[in-house]
Amino acid sequence: MHILKGGRKDFLDFLRNMTPQIIIFSLIVISGQRLDFSEVTGEGVAITFMFWIFVGIFFLAFWANTSLLIKSIAESKPEIAFEFKMLEKQFGGADLFKRKIYHVWEKDKWIFFEAVIVVFIVMFVFSMIILYGAKSGADFQALMKVGGQ
């Protein structure tokens, strides 16, 4: 497997980059605790804005981190990396994504399956980020309540 050979650094970078995502999700939990989505008032505009900014940053960070790892796996074969560069010049968006998946499947099914396994690992990691972020946010809020009394 690529992540156990030449991709070890990329895999460890992926795992290291989870910490900021947990912190960002903790901020989402903390800022979202006070929000009332049932009514819109001018009082909570700043907190609501901050909440949505953190949500956006969280998903962008998660996507960037995951896409770097999957790109590293796919480009571990020079012929796949070369073809990716050619595809990127011609296509974009969802069409580029579909063509890359098809190309990896055609060139090296083992790399394709490794990428699928990594995606499942990523989904598990995403779940852990959500859980740890929520717990950290709740713990911090509980600590603030105790400190404020």
What's this model's pTM, rounded to 2 decimal places?
0.67
CA distance 12 to 115: 16
Q: Cβ distance 36 to 44 under 8 Å?
A: yes
User: What is the structure's pLDDT at 40?
Assistant: 67
Which residue has 């962008």 as its token pair?
A: 60
pLDDT of residue 144: 78
Residue with tokens 């009082």: 43
Please give the Cα distance from 37 to 35 (Å, whole number).
6
List per-residue pLDDT tens for the chain, 149 residues long.
677 788 888 888 888 888 888 888 888 888 887 787 777 677 777 778 888 999 999 989 888 887 787 788 778 888 888 888 888 899 887 788 788 888 888 888 888 888 788 778 877 887 888 888 788 888 887 887 776 65
> How would you label 35-47 residue by residue, b for 16+ Cβ within 10 Å and e otherwise?
eeeeeeeeebeee
CA distance linking residue 24 with residue 129, whole number of Å: 10
Q: What is the spatial distance between Cα 55 and Cα 49, in angstroms, rounded to a whole number?
A: 10
How far, in Å, CA of 55 to CA of 126, rounded? 14
